[in-house]
Chain A
Amino acid sequence: MADEVVLVDTWVSMFGMRVRIALAEKGIKYEYKEEDLCNKSKLLLKINPIYKKIPVLIHNGKPVCESLIIVQYIDEVWNDRSPLMPSDPYPRACARFWADFVDKRVYDVAKKVWTTKGEEQEAAKKEFIEAFQILERQLGDHPYFGGERFGFVDLSLIPFYSWFYAYETFGNFSIEAECPKIIAWAKRCLQKDSVASTLPDEKKVYECVVQMRKRFGVE
C-alpha cells in the first residue's frame, strides 16, 4: 500500500523547514501545499482546528500537528532508515530537552528582535545571544548536537539560520561575532543535501520579513 503524505506549510516557516528536512533525510515523497497565513484555507482549519497553524503533516488522511511532534512521528513510522533520534533513552531525553530549549528560549526572543525597537529590542538581542551561547556550550567540540551525526536537535535549530541575515539586519548586530561556533556548525549542516535543499535563500527570507514588519506595523 503506497503511503500518501501531504505537508501543509509555508516556505518561510522554520517549523515547516524542520519537517521538510526530516522528510528529505528519510527520502519520503510527499505533496507540498503552500498555505497563505493571511488567508487560511478551509483545509488548514479542518486539519488543525485547535491552533490553525502550520506545519501539518497528513499521512494517509490523518493529520499530525506541531513540528517536533511531526518529526518524531516521521522517525517512528519510517524507522528503517536514517534515524533522527538516538536509540538509547538518555540521549533521546537530552535531544528532546534541547529541541524544547530551542522552542522555549530561541523562537519568541528571535521574533522580538525583528518586531520591536529601542530598549525592548536591545533586551531581546541580549537574550538571543545568551540562548545561542548556551547552545554553543552544549555543542562543545562535536560536529553536530547529535554528536558525530546530524540529528533531532540539529534539525530543530538549523532552520533559524536562514533567518539570521534578517535578525542581524533588523537588530544591527553580528551573530558570528558573538557565536562563531554556531555559524561553523550551521555551514557544516548546509553541506547536507536535506538541509541545503530545504533552507530558503536568506535574502528572500529578509524580503519576506520586510513585508511582515509592514503588516505588523513595526516600521
Chain B
Amino acid sequence: MGEVKVIGASLSSFCCRIEWALKLKGVEYEYIKEDLRNKSPILLQYNPVHKKIPVLVHNGKPVAESLVILEYIDETWQENPLLPKDPLEKSTARFWARFVDEKCIVSAWDACRAEEHEKERAVESAQESLGMIDKLIEGKKFFGGETIGFLDLVVGSLPNWLKFLEELGGIKLVDAEKFPSFHEWSKKFVEIPIIKEKIPMPDDLINYFTTSGLAKTIRGSALANNK
C-alpha cells in the first residue's frame, strides 16, 4: 500500500517502536539511517519543526513523533491492530504511553544524571514510576492482553535502556524482586524474534556513549568517572 520509509537511528528507543509496528503488520519499508551528530538534509526536509527521528514517510508524506506515527500506522494498516477499539481502553493505552515517555524515561535519566546528594531521591522517584508500570502488567501476558499491543511497543526498549542507565549512572533501578511482573514481561518480550531483531542492546548503548564522549557530559556518571 505505497512506498514506506523510516528515518531512524538504531539505538533510539523511539525508532524501534515504529519498526516493530510495521513488521507486526507485515509492511515493507526502506530504513534510512540518520547520524544525529550530523543531521541530513532529508531529516531537515521531512521534520523541519523538531528535526528529530523517527520520521515515517508514506508515499512522500512525512509523519513525526513516535506516538503519532504508531497511531497512523495502526489506522492505515489494519491487520494485527495495536490499539483497542473501545474508546475508554484506547484512552487508557494513550495515557500510559504518555506516562512512559514523560515520567519513566525522564525520571530514569534524572536518576542517572543526579549528583551524589540527590541520587537517592531521584532513584526513588524513578522506581515509583516503574512500580506503576509493574502494577499495570501484573497478571497479564502483554500490556495489550493476549497479543502485543500499542503499550508493549512503547514500553518495549525500556528494560534495556534501564540496564544501560544503571551502568552509566552507577545506580540500581530495576530488580526481579521489586518489579516481578515487569521483569517477567521484559524477559519474554525481548526474546520475540521481531522485537529481538531491532532492540537497542545495553552494551551497544554503553559503547556509543563512551566512544562518543557523551558519557563524560553526564553528571554523576559512574562510567565517565572510571575512564
Please give the residue numbers on chain A whose beta carbons come within 8 Å of chain B beta carbons, in ascending order: 50, 59, 62, 64-66, 69-70, 72-73, 76-77, 89-90, 92-94, 96-97, 100-101, 134
Give the docked Cα–Cα distance between A101 and B65 (Å).
10
B100 to chain A, nearest CB (A): 12
Inside 8 A of A101's CB, which chain B residues have their CB? 49
| A100-B95 in contact (CB<8A) | no
Inside 8 A of B91's CB, which chain A residues have their CB? 64, 69-70, 72-73
Whether B142 sits at the interface, judged by CB under 8 Å, is no
| B88-A100 in contact (CB<8A) | no
B223 to chain A, nearest CB (A): 30
- Which residues in chain B, 66-108, are within 8 Å of chain A measured between CB atoms? 67-69, 71-72, 75-76, 87-88, 90-91, 94-95, 98-99
| B75-A100 in contact (CB<8A) | no
| B95-A96 in contact (CB<8A) | no
Give the docked Cα–Cα distance between A39 and B199 (Å).
45
Inside 8 A of B71's CB, which chain A residues have their CB? 92-93, 96
Please give the residue numbers on chain B whose beta carbons come within 8 Å of chain A beta carbons, in ascending order: 49, 58, 61, 63-65, 67-69, 71-72, 75-76, 87-88, 90-91, 94-95, 98-99, 132
| B63-A73 in contact (CB<8A) | no
Say what secondary structure dominates the interface of chain A.
Answer: helix
Inside 8 A of A93's CB, which chain B residues have their CB? 63, 68-69, 71-72
| A100-B94 in contact (CB<8A) | no
Give the docked Cα–Cα distance between A73 and B49 (Å).
27
10 contacts between A and B (CB under 8 A): A66-B95, A69-B91, A69-B94, A69-B95, A72-B94, A76-B87, A92-B71, A93-B69, A101-B49, A134-B49
| Top 9 A-B residue pairs of the complex, sorted by shortest distance between their CB atoms | A93-B72, A89-B75, A76-B87, A96-B68, A73-B91, A93-B63, A89-B76, A69-B94, A64-B91
- Whether A90 touches B49, Cβ cut-off 8 Å, given contacts A65-B95, A73-B87, A76-B87, is no
Inside 8 A of A65's CB, which chain B residues have their CB? 95
Closest partner residue, chain A, to B48 (CB atom): A134
6 more contacts with CB within 8 A, not counting A69-B94, A97-B64, are A64-B91, A66-B94, A70-B91, A72-B91, A96-B68, A100-B67
A11 to chain B, nearest CB (A): 24
- Whether A100 touches B68, Cβ cut-off 8 Å, given contacts A73-B91, A77-B87, is yes
B52 to chain A, nearest CB (A): 11
Inside 8 A of B63's CB, which chain A residues have their CB? 90, 93-94, 97
A119 to chain B, nearest CB (A): 23
Inside 8 A of B94's CB, which chain A residues have their CB? 66, 69, 72
B173 to chain A, nearest CB (A): 19
| B87-A97 in contact (CB<8A) | no
Give the docked Cα–Cα distance between A89 and B56 (Å).
13
